[in-house]
Amino acid sequence: MKRMFEGCLGAAALALAALPFAAGSAQAEDPIALGWVGPLSPPGNYSGGQEMQWAVQLGVDEVNKAGGVLGRQINVTYEDTKGQPAEGSAAAVRLITKDNVAAIFGEFHSSVALAEIEEAHKYGVAWVGTDVWSDAITAKQYPEVYRLAPANSLVYVKAADWSAEHFKNIAIIAENTDFGQGGAKVIADELEAKKVPHTLVTIDLAQQDFTPALLRLMSQNPKPDAIQMVVAGQAQYQLVKQACQLGFAPTAATALIGSSGLLQKEVWEVDGKCAQNLLIVNVAQPKSQWNDKAKAFAAAFTERYKRAPTGVAMEAYDTFGVVVDAIKTAGSADRGAIVKALEKIKYEGTNATYSFPTTKTPDWAYHQFVDVPFTIIQYTEMNQAPENAAIVYPQKWATTDKILPEK
């Protein structure tokens, strides 16, 4: 009996001794926690945020279905930052301290990103930006901060050069945010250098009636022959509609150039025929250059969400891919290891093959993906999808040398 008791005691002791290992094994199989940030409700650009979230979730499901990363599933916590810096800052702190995420990625609004990166830097957590363009984000040169989207200086210098070649007097309509004012300054400086007359008009994103400002531009002598909008999201719909109804733009006399918000199919519902002949700065490969990954992503996204992905969705999908690749390269979900691994990766996504330089000149180039593919497209037919639109820039991908309607 005594022997039996001793045997039981020994077994119990063995079981107790084995507990930490058992717990360790369970922990190794816990999902890797990642944090996504972006606008999903007002006053942020929630339509852009929604597209980004959908793209990321598609990527998460694909990775988890394929067995996860390092043998662990991925669990993404989505934080709605509402387009407000204070929300972004609080979301970053929550993700880092409460959800214990290995890295943070996403975001659509530069002003919000600038608040988030302060927290990421403070806690030493990697932050990878999806569609935030303000130069200041990477210009801070925080080791934790990486960006897939172009810096304003990367795209708008080229866009301004193209505009300077085609137009003589340009109006720049920019939102009153870090993205808008930063982009407008880049364009204005470039036009100034090329001695192209230009006028800057600042708008508030909450505004709906832009007619008085458009009337003012129309009354200028000479009247602008191009309007470049540095405005995110759906505020552009109103600008397009109102400029068109006034007979101002897009016309043979005045071209209208917008950005990614006009890539969503709703532009046709809201603006109708006014969207025809719109020019759009599009951060995406032309369809003719899509790799297999891009084709597969577009097909899966369209099947699941019943709408074609825009370049922003592709960027969001790629951002998740970059973070996952960094975890693989690091060989762990350790925060510091991921920060370092991001400098080493060369990840082929849907839009490009991503790597992040450590050069510090110009200041915004640090951890900035520089080979961002971008085109200037023009809708030439009603209800045209962006991938079927004419490409007017760059030369290597151009499908036409004409800007419609011809003068």
Partner 1 sequence: MSYFLLLAVNGLVIGLIYALTAAGLTLVFSVLKVVNFGHGALYMLGGYASYYIITALHMPPLVGVAGAMVALFVFGVIFERLVIAPMYTDKVERKDEYAIIVTFGLTILLTNLGLVVFGPFAKSPPPFMSGVLILGPLILPYDRLIAAVLAIVLLVGLTLFLKRTALGQALDAVSQSRESAAVIGIDPRRMYTVAFGLGSALAGGAGALIAPIFALSPSMGDLPAVQAFIIIVLGGMGSVGGSIAGGILLGLVQSLGVGYLPDPNRALAYTQAFGALLLVVTLLVRPTGLFGRSHLRLE
Interface residue list for partner 1 (CB under 8 A): 40-43, 46-47, 49-50, 176, 199-204, 206-213, 215-216, 219, 234, 237-238, 245-247, 264, 266, 269-270
Asked if 394 and 375 touch (Cβ cutoff 8 Å), the reply is yes
Q: Which is nearer to partner 1, 76 or 184 (CB)?
A: 184
Asked if 295 and 317 touch (Cβ cutoff 8 Å), the reply is no
What whole-number distance in Å separates Cα of residue 58 and Cα of residue 305?
10
DSSP state of 142: -
Q: C-alpha dihedral over 271, 277, 281, 283, to 10 degrees?
A: 80
CB neighbour class for 23 (10 Å; exposed up to 12, middle 13-18, buried from 19)? exposed
What whole-number distance in Å separates Cα of residue 43 and Cα of residue 47?
11
The dihedrals phi and psi of 66, each to the nearest 5 degrees, come to -85, 10
What whole-number distance in Å separates Cα of residue 359 and Cα of residue 365?
6
Smallest gap from Cβ 33 to partner 1, in A, equals: 26
Sort residue 252 into left (φ over 0), alpha (ψ -120 to 50) or beta.
Answer: alpha
Q: Which is nearer to partner 1, 46 or 364 (CB)?
A: 46
List the one residue out of 143, 152, 123, 128 whose CA is nearest residue 360.
143
Smallest gap from Cβ 264 to partner 1, in A, equals: 6
What whole-number distance in Å separates Cα of residue 107 and Cα of residue 139?
17
Smallest gap from Cβ 265 to partner 1, in A, equals: 8
Q: Which is nearer to partner 1, 226 or 341 (CB)?
A: 226
Q: Which is nearer to partner 1, 219 or 395 (CB)?
A: 219
What whole-number distance in Å separates Cα of residue 304 and Cα of residue 58?
9
Smallest gap from Cβ 50 to partner 1, in A, equals: 4
What whole-number distance in Å separates Cα of residue 103 and Cα of residue 93?
12
Smallest gap from Cβ 155 to partner 1, in A, equals: 22
Q: Which is nearer to partner 1, 45 or 138 (CB)?
A: 45
User: Which three-class secondary structure state does DSSP give residue 268?
Assistant: helix
Q: Which is nearer to partner 1, 52 or 365 (CB)?
A: 52
Q: Which is nearer to partner 1, 28 or 215 (CB)?
A: 215
Smallest gap from Cβ 36 to partner 1, in A, equals: 16
Smallest gap from Cβ 241 to partner 1, in A, equals: 8
Q: Which is nearer to partner 1, 236 or 384 (CB)?
A: 236
What whole-number distance in Å separates Cα of residue 363 and Cα of residue 232?
24
Sheet with 226-230, edge to edge strand ranges: 198-203, 170-175, 226-230, 255-258, 279-282, 375-378, 390-393
Smallest gap from Cβ 176 to partner 1, in A, equals: 5
Asked if 322 and 342 touch (Cβ cutoff 8 Å), the reply is yes
Q: Which is nearer to partner 1, 150 or 309 (CB)?
A: 309
List the one residue out of 102, 93, 154, 152 whose CA is nearest residue 128.
102
